[in-house]
Amino acid sequence: MNELNNENSENNVLKLKQALGKSLEAVDQEIISRLNKSIPLINDIGKHLINASGKRLRPLLTLAMAAQFNDYSKNTIILAAAVEFIHTATLLHDDVVDESNLRRGKKTANIIWGNEFTVLAGDFLFAQSFELMVETESIEALSSLASAACKITQGEFQQMQIANKPETSTEDYIEVIGKKTAELFGASCKSGVIVAGGNIKEQNAAYDYGFNLGLAFQIVDDLMDFNNLPNKMGKNLGDDFKLGKTTLPVILAWQKSNTKEKQFWIKTLKELDQEKHDFNNAIDIFNKYNIFDECKKKTQEFISLSVKSLEKLPNTEIKNYLIGLANESIERSK
């Protein structure tokens, strides 16, 4: 779940950060304050990952959606902090499940402190996020983010169930990443409109923007495992392949592969019997069937849906930045 990393893709994120600088700074202060009140080890683990965070994209989306309705209130700040805590908790748990060594170019918490402490720190951040949400006194915002938190866990379960199964359908894959990644994007946006007093149509439009943006982000993230430099991704090139993860490039390649190529996928992903040159062999199959282009085409479909949903929201400068952010997101894979 990487943030925007491509130099050419940062323009509108930077514009949003500049426009919402005071609010974003207040979110950071809220996060630090809450962590400082915890026991030292939880504080260390939480700050390790949060300080390594890239663009604070999800809380930034919450702030941006509220700002479209001219809301810069304390409740918006608290809600954005809750969103970041939820996201950070999922990352801590993800790294334990995936046995990851690197995240955003730094050692993962589980490598430094071990799985037990990392899981417990994630549990604390989840609990802290709900405490923050309750403070907003918005049952609707609480409901939206609580639902997202539940679906994230469901998505994790489903992702494990389709692991090492290249024959997985595209529909099942989209369902998994919808829960695992896109739901929090959607809820982050929707909750910002909720606390700002937007109507139901506006709340749903904000959700649709975030959800489709989240789908696009996850597809590009999966694509980057095969076609980007490690220092650009903040993780090792080919990590997903080595773990036998079922991602869209693999699914599309399986659908097009001949019998010999399918035997390759069975050997490398189902049985995890991988040799030195198998990663490059996988790339060759992707290139043969233009899989990268097909993935980008699917990404563009979700980006188009994301941008279209903004038509129902107020016309502001912030909205222009959100449109630009969506359109630029595909650049991460280049």
pLDDT in tens, 237-278: 788 899 899 999 999 999 999 999 999 999 999 999 999 999
Write down the pLDDT at residue 159: 93
What is the tally of structural domains in the chain?
1
Q: If DSSP codes are grouped into helix, strand and coil, which group holds residue 187? A: helix
Write down the pLDDT at residue 230: 46
Give a yes or no: residue 288 inside a domain: yes
Residue 123 Cα distances to 94, 126, 145, 168, 182, angstroms: 12, 5, 16, 31, 21
Give a yes or no: residue 2 inside a domain: no
Give a yes or no: residue 166 inside a domain: yes
Give a yes or no: residue 169 inside a domain: yes
pLDDT band at 114; cut points 50, 70, 90: confident
Backbone angles phi, psi at 3, to 5 degrees: -90, 180
pLDDT band at 117; cut points 50, 70, 90: confident
CATH for 98: 1.10.600.10
What is the sign of the dihedral through the CA atoms of 311, 309, 194 and 15? negative
> Global pTM?
0.90
pLDDT in tens, 122-137: 889 889 999 999 999 8
- Domain containing 316 equals 7-333
Give a yes or no: residue 1 inside a domain: no
pLDDT in tens, 141-154: 999 999 999 999 99
